[in-house]
Amino acid sequence: MFDTITGSIKKWLVGRFASAIKHTTRAEDRVLAIQWLSESRTVVASNLSPVDKFKRLNALISSRTAIVAIAKSVSEAVSNYRKSDLPLSMKIALPATLAAIPLVGGQAAGVAAFGGALGVPVLLLIFLGAAGITSIIEAVVTNPEARPHIAEIIDVIVQDERLRRASAQMKAAMKEQPMDPTRFAVPVEELALRKHLLGMDPFHFERHTMSFFEAAGFESWATRKSNDYGVDGFAIHPEGLMIVQCKRNSTDNKVGRPTIQQFKGVIEEHNALRGYVVTTSAFTEEATESAALSEKIVLVDMDNLVRWHAEAPAFL
């Protein structure tokens, strides 16, 4: 029962943080908020002592005016928990739960222990842990209201340590006219599905393709503007960058070896985790042989793409 209530409290707190961030008026403040959460997550997951964690987290908040405002908003929401829509059992449990957060010398502190608006959010971040902070970031990024700000999110993503090998040009390509992944309505029957995919608008096909990556839990997007790399979409895997090239070709227009060789070069140059070439046609024998020389290249022809619609793909 206690674990259930604690989980519910954490979920509610994640919502308070996400709400405070989404209600900021300036786009750059939302970007700062995500950066702040990312930095805070690193501190919380570190081996620092509780005291040092508190100091570091407090410094991350107090050094930025926009973050102070968000922190104060969260503090007010939590301090007024009695007036919230929380179930009675959670209202009763909340103070005791937060008071159990270990700090200096095994002592504890509750909601109002630090007497200031910044101390409360620091405690809450420690209570939520790295997983909880990740949930806040995901709530901000994936919420439908936040999707128009995808370019802001990409600004943060391209600074990720996992993408450190990507060139400035590739990072610029990531941010050129980004589009949300969108799973367009398609026929269920296989022959009708194949016909529909072949007739899709190429840009819609790119967004449709990237929706499978998003559904698998990866932050992903398509890029409408053509670039020198021939890249149509990106997805962030926990282990690195995944790059996607979409070929909405007619059935008789197979993807050849030159396309695969060029794409392999892009993958290797930027140390990407994996590269996917997705087509509505097929691949020539030479293209398949070329792709087989690299463990990072995955070819997805029409048959595989149809299977994606029937059974969610696993992006390993």
Task: Give me the pLDDT at residue 97, please.
Answer: 67
- The model's pLDDT over 288-299, given as tens digits with 9 standing for 90+, comes to 999 999 999 999
The pTM assigned to this predicted structure is 0.67
Residue 5 predicted with pLDDT over 90? no
Average pLDDT, whole number, for the chain?
A: 85
Residue 250 predicted with pLDDT over 60? yes
Residue 244 predicted with pLDDT over 70? yes
Contact 237, 214 (CB under 8 A): no
Task: Give me the pLDDT at residue 161, please.
Answer: 78
Q: Give mean pLDDT, residues 151-176.
A: 84
Q: Which of 10-14, 81-85, 109-113, 117-121 has the lowest mean pLDDT?
A: 109-113
- The model's pLDDT over 177-224, given as tens digits with 9 standing for 90+, comes to 888 899 999 999 999 999 999 999 999 999 999 999 999 988 899 987
Q: Give mean pLDDT, residues 123-131.
A: 87
DSSP state string for 166-230? S-HHHHHHHTSSEE--------SSHHHHHHHHHHS-HHHHHHHHHHHHHHTT-EEEEE-S--TT-
Residue 28 predicted with pLDDT over 60? yes
Residue 115 predicted with pLDDT over 60? no
Task: Give me the pLDDT at residue 118, please.
Answer: 56
Q: Which of 22-31, 77-86, 96-105 has the lowest mean pLDDT?
A: 96-105
Task: Give me the pLDDT at residue 232, please.
Answer: 94
Task: Tell me the C-alpha distance between 105 and 200, whole Å.
Answer: 63
Q: Give mean pLDDT, residues 76-104.
A: 70
Q: Which of 16-30, 55-69, 96-110, 284-298 has the lowest mean pLDDT?
A: 96-110
| Structural domains in the chain, sorted by start | 2-155 (no CATH), 164-310 (3.40.1350.10)
Task: Give me the pLDDT at residue 101, please.
Answer: 59
Cβ partners under 8 Å of residue 269, min gap 6: 167
Task: Tell me the C-alpha distance between 294 and 122, whole Å.
Answer: 46
Exposed, middle or buried, 3 (CB in 10 Å: 0-12/13-18/19+)?
exposed
135, two tokens: 């949930």
